[in-house]
Amino acid sequence: MTQRVALVTGAMGGLGTAICQELAKAGHKVVASYHPQFDNKDAWLQEMAEAGFKDFVCVAGDVSSLEDCEKMVTEAEAAAGPVDILINNAGITRDKMFAKMEKDGWDAVISTNLTSLFNMTKQVSAKMAARGWGRIINISSVNGVKGQAGQTNYSAAKAGVIGFSKALAAELAAKGVTVNVICPGYVATKMVMAIKPEVLQSIIDTVPMKRLAKPEEIGGACAYLASDIAGFMTGATMNINGGLYYQ
């Protein structure tokens, strides 16, 4: 297979780590983008090396900043070559019932989870189209499709991710660049484990499979969407949620 350069945002989180690993297993050169305030980069790299993933390139930046995204992609290209595969995975939660939600919690989630797609994709999409091959994979959420109490900000941003992807897919379909969305359900990561245990248990009770997703179950889907064999799939939304919700 052709080795390609894959840039993953939010790479050092639970889901991001699994995505990096599955892309590396598929033979790609991985660029791990992380927030500059994340202070465990060296420990993460060490852990990856011990797991057999020795040559990840790292770039630091805040995906809610257009300037940071420009800088990260410039650094990625210098270190690894043109970005062929972009995984917009970085995301945060600021869960609160709408009655209690403040503007800063709204703005933080919209800018990190949605405006980031503009900021990152802007750096790579025209170049992918000019080369005639590219993969853009955006991580949304089951809660962007079904809505979740306590997540008006997150559900709005994740629904926006789907709309963005469908529109861009239509623009790039004839250029060899696919744009697809993965909507994970509840995955066993730090983000989900931050939910109060009794609330989380009540959520798991509603999942027909009665469990959380393993991060690699999402990472594996990214590797598929990034492959040549997925070339006819664009504008699609993959639901990976243990049966929690169907569109």
Residue 209 near ligand CAA by CB under 6 A:
no
Residue 141 near ligand CAA by CB under 6 A:
yes
Task: Considering only the stretches 64-72, 79-87, 89-97, 227-235, report the one whose residues sit in contact with ligand CAA under the rule CB under 6 A.
Answer: 89-97
Give the Cα separation of 95 and 151 in Å (integer): 5
Burial of 66 from C-beta contacts in 10 A (0-12 / 13-18 / 19+): middle
Q: Residue from 129, 191, 230, 236 that binds ligand CAA (CB under 6 A)? A: 191
Give the Cα separation of 191 and 43 in Å (integer): 19
| Six-digit token string for 183 | 């909507």
Residue 156 near ligand CAA by CB under 6 A:
no
Residue 116 near ligand CAA by CB under 6 A:
no
Catalytic residue among 34, 154, 186, 224: 154
Nearer to ligand CAA by C-beta: 57 or 203? 203
Residue 56 near ligand CAA by CB under 6 A:
no
- Select from 233, 237, 231, 236 the least CA-distant residue to 1: 231
Give the Cα separation of 225 and 234 in Å (integer): 9
Give the Cα separation of 29 and 66 in Å (integer): 24
Among this protein's residues, is 154 annotated catalytic?
yes
Q: Residue from 78, 79, 199, 209 that binds ligand CAA (CB under 6 A)? A: 199
Give the Cα separation of 230 and 75 in Å (integer): 28
Footprint of ligand CAA (CB under 6 A)? 93, 95-97, 141-143, 148-151, 154, 186, 191-192, 195-196, 199, 203
- The catalytic residue positions are 154
